[in-house]
Structure formats: C-alpha cells, structure tokens
Structure 1
Amino acid sequence: MSTEHARGLPPEFLAPRSSSFTEFLSLRAPELLPGGGLRGGGEGTVEAPHGTTIVALTFAGGVLLAGDRRATMGSFIANRDMEKVFAADDYSAVGIAGTAGTAIEMVKVFQVELEHYEKIEGTLLSLEGKANRLAAMIRGNLANAMRGLSVVPLFAGFDLGQGIGRIYSYDVSGGCYEEQRHHSVGSGSLFARGALKKLWHEDMAEEVALAVAIEALYDAADDDSATGGPDLGRSIWPTCAVVTGTGVRLVEDSQLEELARAVVSARRGNPGGAR
C-alpha cells in the first residue's frame, strides 16, 4: 500500500493489533456487532422470535450437529422452517438457540472471524481457539441477554490434532464448556438429552448417529411445544451438519426425509418409543 493511500485510512486500519475481526469491529463500528444497535440504555425486555432445540453427538469418525426448524415468539409459531445449523468454517459447525435475529448475526460475524484469522495468520485456528472466540462474542452480548435477547449456541468441530470430534456448550455470560459424547441446548433440550442418553453408544456409524439425532429431536418435539418435529405435510425436516476429518457437510434433505419418515413410522402405535 502506498503512503498516500495509507494516510487516507483511519488509524484503526493501521494500528498493530490481534488477528481478531470482532475486536477490530468493536473499535471501528461497534453498532455492526450482533445486537450492537440495541446497546446502551433501554428498559425492560424485548420480545423477539427464539430458536429452540439443538443436539450434538459424536460418532466413529466425527461429530454431528442437528436442529429442529421452529422459531417461536411466546406461544406463537413465528417461523416453521428456520435454519439453525450452520458451517462455521471447513471443520466446525454451530447451532443456534435463543434470540433468532441476534444469533444469526453472531454466526455471520463468527464465520468472518474465523476466515479473517486464517487470512491474517496463514493457518487454521485450533478448535479450542474457535470455541473461545465464540465465547468472547457471547460475553459481548451479555447486556442484551439481560434484556431478553440471549444467545446460547452449541459448537461442534473436528479436532485435526487429536483426530476426534468435540462439542462445546455455553452459558449467557460466555462460559465455555466442553461436553462429552453428546449434548443438547434450547427449550426442548431436557427431553432431547434424555433420549440421547438412552440411544447413544460408542463407535456409532454416521447413519446411525443421524437417526439418533432425529429421534432425539422427535422426543423433544413430543414434550416441548416450542420444538418442531418432522413435518410430513410440509416436507420440513431437521437441519444437520456432519463434521469429519474431510470437512463439514450439510446433510441433504432427501436423506433426512428418509430417516425422519422411518422414525415417525416406528413410533406409530408406540408414541413413547419403547424398545
């Protein structure tokens, strides 16, 4: 860059700093951060659509993340086919629960954060480093969380160093916790987690893990009105990301439909899923 062009840039662009895009944005344009336009002042809580249940589980060769498609606003179904599971980068995925708009903004900034780090440093951030970067973003949203705009995602990825899939959960203050085997967040998480405890086992094949995730979401929808189950009439199926050593892949609707229909068919006459 020429000196002439450099003189025309604001000092934020020229000052030496870390490889964090979020840190740069907080100095240059904090209003562009998730929920940034709502910071500073304001009384009471804000009513907004909320995403609900996300599940994650490890299997032989990786980890998967799946979510239902319903967003609610109080007792009202705000959206029936919302996407809640996203690829964060080539080897990780994130599922959102909490205030939908703020959560989606946070995911977009998180994706840029990881891409920016890779461009600046010339290497991938470690999986633990990615989890901590997301924790910092959640911590930055704490003031909004106190007003009812909380975001509590579930993060999963493949650790290239260890050759395993790993799962991280969070609290509204940005606390980051590694989970073992499986986990769930959102309004239906209690019921999904109970199903995962009974259905998960060591060294599951990917296809089996997908079926377990869908059945856990089915159980959550059976007892939690905010969680949407497979909608055969509208052809709405859960969203699922599979992360392995070859990268992250969003599962095709055709495969999810086949598995969801099998789960629904197996529950006819056996709504509780007794084995």
Structure 2
Amino acid sequence: MTDAHGRLPRSFTTPGTSSFVDFLAAHDPSRLTGTFATPLGDVPVPHATTIVALTFDGGVVMAGDRRATAGSMIASRQIEKVFPADDSSAIGIAGTAGLAIELVRLFQLELEHYEKIEGTPLSLDGKANRLATMVRGSLGLAMQGLAVIPLFCGYDESRGTGRIFSYDVTGGRYEETEHHAIGSGSVFARGSLKKLWQPGLDRDQAVRAAVTALVDAADDDSATGGPDALRRIWPVVAVVGPEGYQAVSQAELAEVAAAVEESRRQAGGRHP
C-alpha cells in the first residue's frame, strides 16, 4: 500500500471525486469486477436466483430464497442474496453469485465513502443512479454470460414511502410500482404478488406475501429454493421503513413459513 518511504500513494491524498468507484478505477482498476475478462468456457459457476420486493403502508419488504445453482447441481442451500446497502436501503442479487456479492460490497463502500466525503448520505434516487452506473460497468461480463442483476429498494424520507428499482444488464434503471421480482423464478413470483399485493398492506402482511411468492416460485422453478423446515433454512427477508433496515428474525420466518404451508395444505396444495 505504501511506497519505499512509507508514504501513501498519491491517489490517496489527491482531492477528487466523492465516488469510491471512481477512486478505485484510478488507483487500482483491476479490483473492479467489470475488468475481469478471463473466459471461463464451460466451467459451472454458481448462480443466485429469485428476489422479490413489495411496498406496504410504511415501507418496503425485500426477500430472497437461499439456493444457488451451478448447472443442474445445487451449489449452496444457504447463500444470502439480500443485504443492507446502507441504513435505509436494501439490495438483492440475481445472476452470477460471486460477482454479484462483490458488486454488493463495492456498492456498500460507495455509499459509505460518499457520506464520509460529503457529510451527508445520497438521496434514494442518487443511490439508484450510482448502482446503475456500476451495473453498466459490468456489461463486458454480462456479454460473456456472467450477468449480475440487482434489485434495489429503500425508504424515501422526502416522500414518506418505500420505493423499488430494477435494472437490466446495460445499467438501465427502472422504478417499479407496488412490487417486482427478478431471477429465474421471477415469472412465478410476479404472478403470486399480483394476487397478494393490495393497497394498505401492513408490515406483517407484506412479509407473508413475500414468503408466499418465493414458495410459489420454488413450486415451478428448480433453481429457487423454498423454506426448508428440516434444515431450518428460511428465506432472507428485510423490512426497510422509517426505522431503517431491519432483518426479519429466523423465528418469525419459521412461523410465517409454517402458516403459508398450512394454508396451502388446507387448499389441497393450491394457492389459497
């Protein structure tokens, strides 16, 4: 890190942008995920799958299943796909798992660095725009089949509501209303959310709707893992509201998953 005289490199002491990504691009661009260019051929790479998000009266809920797949194999049953971006926002990942997790870490640093330099956090729109720029920087990887697709949500204090943003591999940013889902099971999760979402949902209803949507996705998509009571593996669910980012406890998720399973059993295995 330091030179022969024990001094930090010039890039550490030169005034510049409040963007950590721009700083890293100038100091050590090899650490940016978008610069990775080694072809992997047919090597199976773990992929993360379904993420859902929906608004409720007072914030937004984001949830992700725990399965990662590599080809036809289950690579992991306990991967985490939902993370706090900062105190008032959350990010979920689908696509190439390793690169997606690196993107999350870099995005977290980007937001923390901006707040330290500027003395104030980015607005929710600013965070969404920064994430779009980072996704666009990985377009080369996406063209190699190593796509990373995030889903971003947060609580907008200026509007007093939760908001959801989706992206494409080119960095296109789209604000979603009410609910959205990404990943291989998203088509089934979206169908479920269309039936379950309604204006005025409270926090508990939104959490149950998110878990139900993941269960419905796991029903039809082999790459999406449902709740696993035998192994005590539950989805990762986060609530973002005026109190900030809050992870839903494993004990609560066990109860929600059991209630969803019981309602399906009473409906003969169909959507209640």
Could you state the TM-score of these two structures normalised by the residue count of structure 1? 0.93
1:21-170 aligned at under 5 Å gives the runs: 21-34=20-33, 36=35, 38-39=36-37, 42=39, 44=41, 47-170=44-167
- The percent of aligned pairs where both chains have the same amino acid is 59
Q: Which residue of 2 aligns with 1:181?
A: 178
- Whether contact under 8 Å (1:45, 1:147) holds in the other structure is no
What's the offset of the Cα at 1:270?
2.3
RMSD: 1.6
| Aligned AA (1:273) | H
| Aligned AA (1:119) | K
What's the offset of the Cα at 1:107?
0.4
Distance 1:31 1:203 in 2: 47
Q: Which residue of 1 aligns with 2:262?
A: 265
Distance 2:215 2:84 in 1: 23
Runs of 4+ in 1 over 4 A off after TM superposition: 43-46
Distance 2:189 2:268 in 1: 17
Structure 2 unpaired stretches of 5+: none
- Whether contact under 8 Å (1:169, 1:179) holds in the other structure is yes
- Whether contact under 8 Å (1:51, 1:96) holds in the other structure is yes
- Whether contact under 8 Å (1:58, 1:182) holds in the other structure is yes
| Residue 190 (1) aligns with residue 187 (2) | yes
- Whether contact under 8 Å (2:34, 2:137) holds in the other structure is no
Give the secondary-structure state (helix, strand or coil) at the position aligned to 1:97: strand
Do the aligned partners of residues 46 and 29 (structure 1) sit closer, same or farther apart at CA in structure 2, a change above 3 Å counting? farther
Distance 1:31 1:86 in 2: 24
Distance 2:251 2:264 in 1: 20
Distance 2:149 2:160 in 1: 26
- Whether contact under 8 Å (1:45, 1:148) holds in the other structure is no
Do the aligned partners of residues 173 and 228 (structure 1) sit closer, same or farther apart at CA in structure 2, a change above 3 Å counting? same
Q: Which residue of 2 aligns with 1:20?
A: 19
- Whether contact under 8 Å (2:53, 2:60) holds in the other structure is yes
1:191-210 aligned at under 5 Å gives the runs: 191-210=188-207
Q: Which residue of 1 aligns with 2:10?
A: 11
Distance 2:84 2:113 in 1: 15
| Aligned AA (1:221) | A
| Aligned AA (2:60) | V
| Aligned AA (1:123) | T
Give the secondary-structure state (helix, strand or coil) at the position aligned to 1:152: strand
Q: Which residue of 1 aligns with 2:211?
A: 214
Distance 1:249 1:137 in 2: 25
| Aligned AA (2:30) | E
Q: Which residue of 2 aligns with 1:250?
A: 247
Distance 2:60 2:52 in 1: 11
Give the secondary-structure state (helix, strand or coil) at the position aligned to 2:246: strand
- Whether contact under 8 Å (1:34, 1:103) holds in the other structure is no
